[in-house]
Chain A
Amino acid sequence: AQTVTQSQPEMSVQEAETVTLSCTYDTSESDYYLFWYKQPPSRQMILVIRQEAYKQQNATENRFSVNFQKAAKSFSLKISDSQLGDAAMYFCAYTRYKLIFGTGTRLQVFP
């Protein structure tokens, strides 16, 4: 069975600084997708970034980028130039159709 592990229950960062959230996963499949979702207090799950397993190039979306290490089954999220609006729960997820989520990392951003 596939599993997703987020070992950092909470992280904090100062505004304008960079923070990295960790995620590891376990699967025997070779073709899959990985996502980072953001969930603010409003409960709305917002897709931050996606990575196709067959692509070696790390995905980037503006201030968000990932470090995807397929052999190590690692998928970390880097947030650059952190903003107050980045404060939220962040979930790493694996999918081949249904999403399997990690337990989440609560990110606090301090001015």
Chain B
Amino acid sequence: GAGVSQSPSNKVTEKGKDVELRCDPISGHTALYWYRQSLGQGLEFLIYFQGNSAPDKSGLPSDRFSAERTGGSVSTLTIQRTQQEDSAVYLCASSLDPNSYEQYFGPGTRLTVT
């Protein structure tokens, strides 16, 4: 079956612009996670969704970052007024439910802010 998909694969944007990153989880997976992978910070948790609600947003680095999930499926991570330090690979993962623990990752979106 289809795995987790993310789009775009790569995104180059100018400092100050807004960007939207999309994640399509595996069908039927209720839990969805966003992570960020950067040279300086390694792999960091950003936000977790259970269905459409986000019980844990503790990893979002600033109020420029927001995320939503609609219909218990697709999720969008939005970064407003991008900064150079936002350059990273943004990874999305899904799991059947939060108790299943095993997370399946998408291929990531590489964001470059110039």
Contacts and interface: CB of A to CB of B under 8 A. Distances in A.
14 contacts: A35-B102, A42-B107, A43-B89, A43-B108, A44-B105, A46-B105, A47-B104, A50-B102, A95-B103, A97-B48, A97-B98, A99-B33, A101-B42, A104-B43
Interface in B53-93: 56, 59, 89, 91, 93
A99 B102 contact: no
Contacts of B42: 101-104
A103 B38 CA distance: 11
Interface in A40-89: 42-47, 50
A91 B102 contact: no
Contact of A47 (B44, B89, B102): B102
A100 B45 contact: yes
Interface residues of B, number: 23
Interface of A: 33, 35, 37, 42-47, 50, 91, 95, 97-104
Contacts of A45: 91, 93, 105
A42 B47 CA distance: 24
A47 B95 CA distance: 12
Interface of B: 31, 33, 35, 42-45, 48, 56, 59, 89, 91, 93, 98-99, 101-105, 107-108, 110
A-B interface, 9 closest residue pairs, ranked by CB to CB distance from nearest: A45-B105, A101-B43, A97-B98, A33-B101, A98-B45, A43-B108, A103-B42, A44-B107, A98-B48
A21 B15 CA distance: 39
Contacts of B89: 43
A35 B104 CA distance: 12
Contacts of A104: 42-43
